[in-house]
Structures are given as structure tokens and as C-alpha cells.
Amino acid sequence: MRLSRRTLLAATAAAAAQPAFRARAQDAGTIRIGVLNDQSGPYRDTGGLTSVICCKQAVSEFAAQGFKVDVIMADHQNKPDVGAGIARQWYDRDGVDMILDVPTSSVGLAVGAVAKEKNKAYINVGAATTDLTGKQCAPCIVHWSYDTYMLAKSTGGATVRSGGTSWYFVTADYVFGHQLQRDATHFVEAAGGKVLGSSAYPFPGTSDFSSFLLQAQASGAKVLGLCNAGADTVNSIKQAKEFGVNMRLAAMLMFITDVNALGLQTAQGLTLTESFYWDLNDRTRAFTNRVRPKTPNNWPNMIHAGCYAATLHFLKAVQALGVAEAKRSGTAIVERMKAMPTNDDCFGKAHIREDGLLIVPSYLFQVKTPAESHGKWDYYKTLSVTPADQAWRPLAEGGCYFVKS
């Protein structure tokens, strides 16, 4: 028994000697940014390490005067409890002043609740949900780059105006898919288009879209709207190509990084919406040339650009506000961010609305054919632009509690 007791004691000692994850020294002169996203799962290319690189790019370009800036990162593995746990620990113990990116709506909203509770700044770039600036808004939250309303309005409405007047939807049968379809239908009809029909497929787990695609083909509609995301979108595009579906494909949620993964041969002709494209103008090209050497295989999409621009604007606000006040209150920083107009290479001049939404134009792009593409990542041609003041959900419709109507 003596042996066992001693061993147990040793085991206890070993357990107690585990790396003690104590609070890092919370240096008063340091602003710490935490990039929290998916780095190992399905969204590793749409966000992932490139988001971290773009954030660091902004930090190095800003060259803060009078305070240090430190960037840390973590992989939330698309689990809300992991994300919320890390966010709590970062805000409480690790002296993180702002959390950035956070794709996947469930994780994005969970981190939003933590930020609100702790009164810390939170800039979401990666999640699509409109609730971040609507029902679950908070005065310390900013939502950058895109949301489902803006995507549906551009892809739905602008496609009709550019000739795609009749639609058929293939929809993932869950809340998110139906919401996309409802929004898109609204904008298609508002623009004078017609919806001829729709098919809902079981989600998740469907990998064979053939019967839905053939129904769509048989409807005689001009446009096939894909109300799904991620791997489902990629699979349905591939299969539409294989079946020779000669409709215009409109993806409701897709990024240039997905187009790159599909290849132009498969993706050509597809329409989609982003708020940033690297080849839009001189400033976007200049930005892309600066970060490209650091991420040669994954060029920036609107999420990456958003991480850059949001970090830059955040640091400007911190500088204007003073570090001590910035560390004290996330709401104070975000109010300052809303008060200052934004100006960066990715999105140009814009502003953040009262409910926390960045107001920029949205672009309807069509993917080029292999013959039209002249270089690496030369993938998009612009079909139409929705001006900033029309691109987003009207302020009064969001239902954000602190917006004065």
C-alpha cells in the first residue's frame, strides 16, 4: 500500500506541475488582437491562416505610435463551445482586446455573446449571419465584409437585371438554406424576375444532386440558384457541369478561394457576390501585391481583405482613443470606429453604421472562362455593382435593440 500511495502522490505532483496556464502579463501598453477561426476544417482556405497573415499585415503597416500590438490566433474547430471557451479565456486572462474573424454562424454568435458580456471589441468578418447586427447585436460588435442579406440581394436582384429573369432553386433543407432561398426569392421577384420552382435536399449528408439538378433543368428556368454553402455548393457545381446543365449557376455563398479550388474549367460562368476582389482597382491590387508573398497559394478573398481592413481601422480608433481607454471598454473603441470614416486599400472609403455593419458596395461577379483568364487568380469579371446605400439590410429592419428608430 505504501508503494501505491507514493505513486499516487507522485501522480498528483505531476498533475499539479502541469504547465500552469496563468494569465500572461497584461502589459498596459500592449493591444492584443486574437484571430479566432477555422484552421483545420472546411473553412481553412476561406479564412484560416491567410486571415491571420492579413491581420498581421495591417499591424505592420499601421506602425503604431506609443503602444505595441500583438496578434495571437486559435483554431475554434467549428465548435461553438471551443470558440466561446477560448474567447472567454482570451478576454478574461490573456489580455486580448479584440477578437477577429470567427466564421461559422453558431460560433460567431456565441463569441458575440461573450464579447457583449465582457464589454470587449469583437469584429466578425467570417460569419454570414445577419443576427450579429440584428437580433443579437451589441454595441461592441462590428460586422465586416458580407452577410446573407447582402449576398441574396446582389446575387438575386442584380442577376435578374443582367438578364437572368427566371429562377429555380436547389436548397439545403435546413434553416440557413431556406433563409437564403426566401431572401433570394424576395429580391428576384422585386427585380421583376420569376421563380419557377425549387427542390429541397436533405442536409447534411447529400452528395448526389443529380435528381435535383435534372428537375431544375426540366423547369426551363434560366438561372439555377444554389442555396447552400461549402462542400455542398462545390459538389452541386461539379455535378451540374458533369450533367451538362445549361443554366446560369448562381451561388449564394461562395468565395474566390472556392473558385480556385474548383478550377475555371468547372466554375466558368458561375455568378456570385463578394465585396472585394483583388483585381478591382489600383488600391486592391497594391494590397494584394503586398500580402501575396506571404500567402502565395491562397490569395485574399473578401474575408481576408476584411481582416486586414478591420484591423487597420481598429488600430486607428485605438490610436485616437488612447490605449488606456481602449483597454477599458470595447464599446468605447467600437463607438470611435463608427464615428471615424474607414479608408483602406481593400474597401476604399466607407463607414460603419450604427448597428455595427460596414457599409460598402457589393459586386456581382461572373467567373471567367479559361480562355478569358490571363494569369494566376484572374477569375472574375464584374457584372454589376450594388451601391453601398442599397446593398445592405435597411437599419430599421434589423431589430437591433440599441438602434434608435
Partner 1 sequence: MFAFTRAQAIAFAVMVALILVAPTVLYPVFLMKVLCFALFACAFNLLIGYVGLLSFGHAAFFGMGSYIAAWTAKNWGLSSELAILAGGGVGAILGVVTGWLAIRRQGIYFAMITLALSQMVYFFCVEASFTGGEDGIQQVPRSPLFGVIPMQSDMSLYWLVAVVFLAGFLLIHRIIHSPFGQVLKAIRENEPRATSLGYRTDTYKLVAFVLSAALAGVAGATKSQVFGIATLTDVHWSMSGEVVLMTLLGGIGTVFGPVLGALVFGSLETYLAQFGDWVTVTQGAIFVACVLAFRRGLIGELAGRLGLTL
Positions touching partner 1 (CB under 8 A) are 1, 3-5, 7-8, 11-12, 15-16, 20-22, 39-40, 44, 48-49, 52, 72-82, 84-86, 88-89, 92-93, 105-106, 109-110, 112-113, 129, 131, 136, 173-176, 202-204
For residues 109 and 350, which CB has a smaller minimum distance to partner 1 in the complex? 109
Report whether 200 contacts 230 (CB < 8 A).
no
What's the min distance (Å) between Cβ of 230 and partner 1?
Answer: 12
C-alpha to C-alpha distance for 171 and 213, rounded to whole angstroms: 11
**Nearest to partner 1 of 80, 348 (CB atom):** 80
| Cell numbers standing for residue 31 | 493591444
Taking the complex as a whole, the smallest distance from the CB of residue 112 to partner 1 amounts, in Å, to 8
- 146 Cβ contact list (under 8 Å, min separation 6): 128, 273, 274, 275, 302, 303, 306, 362
Which letter, b or e, does each residue of 158-179 get, where b requires 16 or more Cβ atoms within 10 Å of its Cβ? Answer: bbbeeebbbbbbbbbeeebbbb
Nearest approach, Cβ of residue 399 and partner 1 (Å) = 14
For residue 174, the minimal CB distance to partner 1 (Å) is 5
**What DSSP letter does each residue of 261-289 carry, written as one string?**
HH-HHHHTT-EEEES--TTSSHHHHHHHH
Q: Which is nearer to partner 1, 84 or 312 (CB)?
A: 84
Q: Which is nearer to partner 1, 85 or 322 (CB)?
A: 85
Report the residue number, 178 or 283, with the smaller CB distance to partner 1.
178
Give the C-alpha separation, 326 to 374, whole Å. 46
Q: CA-to-CA distance for 102 and 93, rounded, in angstroms?
A: 19
Exposure string over 36-52, b if 16+ CB within 10 A, otherwise e = bbbbebebbbbbbbbbb
**Given the complex with partner 1, which of 66 and 202 has the nearer CB atom?**
202
The rounded distance, in Å, linking the Cα atoms of 235 and 241 is 10
Q: How far is the CB of 3 from partner 1 (least distance, A)?
A: 7
Minimum distance between the CB of residue 345 and partner 1, rounded to whole angstroms? 26
